[in-house]
Structure 1
Amino acid sequence: MDRRTTYCPYCNNTNHYVNSCANFNQLNREQKESWIRSNNRCWHCGCGHPAVKCTLKAPCKMCNRKHLLVLHEVNERAEGKAPAMATVESCLMNTASEVSYVNRPSYDCKVLLKISKVIIRNGNRTLEAYAVLDDGSQRTILLHAAAKKLGLEGKPEDLALHTVRQLQVLHGAAVSFTISPAAEPTKRFKIHSAFTAEQLGLAEHTYPVSTLQKKYRHLTGLPLQSLNRVDPVLLIGSDCTHLITPIEPVQLGPPGGPATVRTHLGWTLQGPAQGIKHSRDVTQCLFTPTLSPTDLFSHVEKLWQMDVLPYRRKKSAVRSRQDQEAVCILQEQ
């Protein structure tokens, strides 16, 4: 957003600012939210960039947060809701323009998070998926695609996510459902008021269990499941402590190795896994373009010349100098 020129993103003209736009000020909160969502506008200034890239510095006169005064009501929670919005304390990483990842991607990562395969139920609808058991999150989060597939419709709610760079307000809903461990589908646990929103995402995870069991003895014989780039749809936070805490003593391995944790959702791993390579080998084929066969021969000849050591025998060097002197004498005569 250019601060040096007058511009209204709603009217798309340079006659006035959006704060003083008569047409935009006539809209109610729902209409403003609909315009922002349908046109992928910034929640802070109304321009066409994502909110995470907004450079607006002027604070709102009502709440002193960084958004336009005319957008104050769409950035604030509605009256009558909880006195304080829950915040997610886990590590957030914005790697896309429209998605906030609630946990770090696992590529080349040497720390394993607790992952469990579960069955999510809502009435007659079921979904077999993976869940992240996150002790550092204050709120349980269900991805929007999973909630839509299960037909979940909850109470509208706003959630404030604190990132390193800013405070981002997500507009979603609170939903409730039941969950079971995939290995024991008869066990059911109720999860109340999990937050879901379109802007949330969870990173892929990989568990090289067979490699880990060969390296660490305390992992052998345990019913651990190998995971290869799985996409979790559920993050269970500390608001569901009974599902993420151990139900028997944690088994620790040697320094640098992961711990085994058994929860109500099954066996899982947590902690460092040193010496395990997560990156995939990449095969490359390199080409050198040439204009003609002559150029190709020239390039090959240059490559061969680079392999020749810059060394000449002393006798050859002396003979060459004598030959040059003989040629010079003949030419003079």
Structure 2
Amino acid sequence: MLRLQRCLSGPALETVRSRLVLPAAVPQVIETLRMRFGRPELLINALLRKVRDIPAPRSDRLEGLIDFGMAVQALCDHIEAANERAHLSNPSLLQELVAKLPADQRMMWAGYKRSCQVVDLKTFSDYMTSVVQDASSVVTFEPESRRNNPRDRPKNKAFVNTHAMEGAVSSVRSMNVPTGAAKQFDCAHCSKTGHRVRECIAFKALHVDDRWRRVRALGLCQNCLFSHGRRACRIRSSCDIEGCQFRHHPLLHSLRGPPKAPASNALVAENHTHRLLTSSTLFRIIPVILHGSDVSIDTFAFLDEGSDLTLMEHDLAVSLGLKGSPQPLCLRWTGNTSRMEKESQRITFEIAGEGQHKRHKIVNARTVQCLNLPSQSFQVEEAATKHAHLRGIPVSSYHNAKPKILIGIDNLRLALPLKVREGDGTGPIAARTRLGWCVYGPRESGDTEAYNFHVSRCDCDEELHDTVKQFFAIEEAGVRPSNIPMSKEEQRALTILETTTRRVENRFETGLLWKEDNVEFPNSYTMAVRRLKCLERRMDRDPLLKENLHRQMCEYEAKGYAHRATKAEIDAADPRRVWYLPVGAVINPKKPGKVRVLKGPDQLSSLPAVLFRFRQYGVAVSSDIQEMFHQIRIREEDKNSQRFLWRACPSEKPTIYLMDVATFGSTCSPASAQFVKNRNAVQHAELFPEASKAIVHDHYVDDYLSSFGSAEEATKVANDVRYIHDQGGFKLHNWRSNSSTVLEQLG
């Protein structure tokens, strides 16, 4: 029980918190945790995220290679222990992990896998095990305690403490700077030597808004004020000024980014929040109990008559089980600073004072991601000793209380002082509200150094300006010329399309867009058998899925999309270009290993341009091509790269099938389909110029959208478009029009 109490946190702790009292409840706690968080797929996903988040190892840092290898081993070991071996055959994950290795290690992996009959994640784990063993035998690890021991630091180091602002309770960040190294850096702000940006007097003299603009203009990291390009910042700490959890340098504290225009349906709230640099003032903070649907939570509320809304932090609302209607909320401070809460929700809940039974209902409160209200401590005994009028007040002491809810003027009756004790006017006052007593005001007499900010209405013209700007940006999208040259890969893909595409009766045949001329796939038969068995087990559990798949397989054969491979076809196939597509998953012949299939040039018409022409005239016509990709034949040389296994009964031996047409999962299918569609249209341009132009320019993928000045013109062009598509094996269906005459004449 002690181990559980120490190690649990977050949602896991909240799930079993009520049972963490008696040791006899340990079995029930373990079972509850296993039910909620012990599912193998959740743990595997967590390990997958961990492996993906590990920085790509570098050849000059063997420690990173060891960490990556150990993470891969842990992932594979857990997959096997959880009996989820299907994950080991995930080709895209294998490709993703191999891509993180340095170039020399990828070459060694390529040589290693040649000797393996089956190449999957377990094979890669075995390879990384050997790499980790070799790296561990030569790398020298420095103990963490030794690395961080301040006694071992060089003697020629000076210590520079950077404070965000004068009067703060404590320094927010300390940096160890070698005295001889500081002169090696030029300040990016003032271009002088001998100091960095964070030490620059001229930079510190700027207003915080101008510091943000300067940092962005210079391309500096907002966390360390250095320019380290795309590399991740090594400083992981947050700002921490007044509890700020945002990751930015203390010199940039208090701004939440550039002002943004509110959404058109956003509610605008006014808020007045005080922030103090010293601890000489008490705010109106009071302990309360919040009641949700089935949960009650003790927290602290901030009573603020300068806010016209009651606000609650999103995490607290989730813990209370509160759900409401989403409505964007715009918060705006003085200094033209604003913050947009796009996911704000309108919620209703009940609140009571500490130790009180009477509940008060709060409606139309709003959620925000973070209130970032100041934390506060109060000692009753100390205050009563200094101020006689506070003696006998039923108030509890609290330490570092951070309010998670702000009660605004819309619930003024809860903050209204019903009884007040003010003393001689030199100290804080005590006020009794409907939520209990609270003590607030100056702790001591005299001036205090503080600042505050207000939230005002966003009634400016920025929203109108941005709306008009966006309107014109969309309007001109369809008429902009595209002068972007083709890449070498796109040029290669276009060459393959032009040389391999040919008409075969009323169909077109083309080739797959291989990235390389010499294609060599690993043996994927074993993987395909495992995937087929996995699919069969799934079909046994879902008879409807089984019936659907068997029906589709029969349709594929009947329509000529696929056929059973003959012995002659299997024997004549080049084993280096054989790949089995996994049935029931995304069909993509580029997996696993190195990317081998080109995406092809983008030949799609601009969607805004198609829509603009579609709205141009009064008579609209639309249709789409039925099973567009499957109408394109694949040449014989590439069909064995589109094999798949199927059988009517699990007791039979799997039968090898060949896909004769382009597949939906192939990367190159969209480019091939557009090329074939346009080539077929160009071949009929002389006899049907308008229809040919419509096929090239008024199609978006397989959808045909056009408009005409009359029903007669619409009928003629639409019939011509249908005829041209028929000559290429494409069938238009799902005809729609706002003219019943056109629909009747189209049949």
Range into which the TM-score falls when normalised by the shorter chain: 0.5 to 0.7
Does structure 2 conserve the Cα–Cα contact (< 8 Å) formed by 1:129 and 1:233? yes
Secondary structure of 1:213's aligned partner: helix
2:271 corresponding residue in structure 1: 89
Does structure 2 conserve the Cα–Cα contact (< 8 Å) formed by 1:139 and 1:195? yes
Secondary structure of 1:131's aligned partner: strand
1:52 aligns with 2:223: no
2:279 corresponding residue in structure 1: 109
Q: Using the TM superposition, give the Cα deviation of residue 194 of structure 1 relative to its aligned residue in structure 2, in angstroms.
A: 1.0
Does structure 1 conserve the Cα–Cα contact (< 8 Å) formed by 2:294 and 2:321? no
Q: Using the TM superposition, give the Cα deviation of residue 169 of structure 1 relative to its aligned residue in structure 2, in angstroms.
A: 2.2
Residue identity opposite 2:350 in structure 1: T
Does structure 2 conserve the Cα–Cα contact (< 8 Å) formed by 1:247 and 1:263? yes
Q: Using the TM superposition, give the Cα deviation of residue 205 of structure 1 relative to its aligned residue in structure 2, in angstroms.
A: 1.1
Secondary structure of 1:153's aligned partner: coil
Q: Using the TM superposition, give the Cα deviation of residue 251 of structure 1 relative to its aligned residue in structure 2, in angstroms.
A: 1.3
2:314 corresponding residue in structure 1: 144
1:299 corresponding residue in structure 2: none
Q: CA RMSD in A?
A: 2.8
Residue identity opposite 2:380 in structure 1: V
1:189 corresponding residue in structure 2: 360
Does structure 1 conserve the Cα–Cα contact (< 8 Å) formed by 2:427 and 2:445? no
1:274 aligns with 2:478: no
Query: 2: distance between equivalents of 1:262 and 1:159?
Result: 32
Does structure 2 conserve the Cα–Cα contact (< 8 Å) formed by 1:89 and 1:137? yes
1:200 corresponding residue in structure 2: 371
Between the two proteins, the alignment pairs up a number of residues equal to 197
Query: 2: distance between equivalents of 1:194 and 1:242?
Result: 15
Question: 1:94-131 CA deviation, whole Å, 9 max, x = no partner?
Answer: xxxxxxxxx526x6232211121111011211111111
Instruction: Give the alignment partner of residue 174 of structure 1, picking from 334, 346, 351.
Output: 346
Any unmatched runs of 5+ in structure 2?
Answer: 1-212, 219-245, 247-253, 447-747
Secondary structure of 1:142's aligned partner: strand
1:128 aligns with 2:332: no
Query: 1: distance between equivalents of 2:383 and 2:255?
Result: 41
Q: From the superposition, tell whether residues 51 and 210 of structure 1 become closer, same or farther in structure 2 (CA, over 3 Å).
A: closer
1:154 corresponding residue in structure 2: 324
Does structure 2 conserve the Cα–Cα contact (< 8 Å) formed by 1:77 and 1:158? no
2:199 corresponding residue in structure 1: none
Question: 1:137-182 CA deviation, whole Å, 9 max, x = no partner?
Answer: 1111111111010111111122222223323222211111001112
Query: 1: distance between equivalents of 2:264 and 2:327?
Result: 8
Does structure 2 conserve the Cα–Cα contact (< 8 Å) formed by 1:115 and 1:130? yes
Q: Using the TM superposition, give the Cα deviation of residue 3 of structure 1 relative to its aligned residue in structure 2, in angstroms.
A: 8.1
2:395 corresponding residue in structure 1: 224
Secondary structure of 1:52's aligned partner: coil
1:233 aligns with 2:437: no
Within 5 A, what are the aligned runs for 1:239-258? 239-248=410-419, 250-258=420-428
Query: 1: distance between equivalents of 2:303 and 2:409?
Result: 9
Does structure 1 conserve the Cα–Cα contact (< 8 Å) formed by 2:432 and 2:438? yes
Within 5 A, what are the aligned runs for 1:38-49? none
Query: 1: distance between equivalents of 2:366 and 2:304?
Result: 14
Query: 1: distance between equivalents of 2:301 and 2:290?
Result: 10
The structure in which a higher percent of residues are strand is: 1
Query: Could you tell me the percent identity over the aligned residues?
Result: 28
Any unmatched runs of 5+ in structure 1?
Answer: 5-39, 41-49, 55-65, 92-102, 277-333
1:291 corresponding residue in structure 2: none
1:36 corresponding residue in structure 2: none
Residue identity opposite 1:219 in structure 2: L
1:77 aligns with 2:281: no
Query: 2: distance between equivalents of 1:262 and 1:199?
Result: 28
Q: Using the TM superposition, give the Cα deviation of residue 86 of structure 1 relative to its aligned residue in structure 2, in angstroms.
A: 3.5
Question: 1:173-196 CA deviation, whole Å, 9 max, x = no partner?
Answer: 111100111211x20000011111
Structure with bigger RCO (C-alpha 8 Å, 6+ apart) = 1
The structure in which a higher percent of residues are helix is: 2
Does structure 1 conserve the Cα–Cα contact (< 8 Å) formed by 2:371 and 2:404? no
Does structure 2 conserve the Cα–Cα contact (< 8 Å) formed by 1:143 and 1:201? no
Q: Using the TM superposition, give the Cα deviation of residue 230 of structure 1 relative to its aligned residue in structure 2, in angstroms.
A: 1.1
Residue identity opposite 2:366 in structure 1: F
Within 5 A, what are the aligned runs for 1:307-318? none
TM-score normalised according to structure 1 size:
0.54
Query: 2: distance between equivalents of 1:226 and 1:160?
Result: 35
Question: 1:231-280 CA deviation, whole Å, 9 max, x = no partner?
Answer: 211111110011000123x111123211110001101012111179xxxx
Query: 2: distance between equivalents of 1:121 and 1:251?
Result: 30
Larger radius of gyration: 2
Does structure 1 conserve the Cα–Cα contact (< 8 Å) formed by 2:309 and 2:366? yes
Secondary structure of 1:222's aligned partner: coil
Query: 2: distance between equivalents of 1:245 and 1:115?
Result: 14
Query: 1: distance between equivalents of 2:332 and 2:279?
Result: 23
Does structure 2 conserve the Cα–Cα contact (< 8 Å) formed by 1:252 and 1:260? yes
Q: From the superposition, tell whether residues 267 and 110 of structure 1 become closer, same or farther in structure 2 (CA, over 3 Å).
A: same
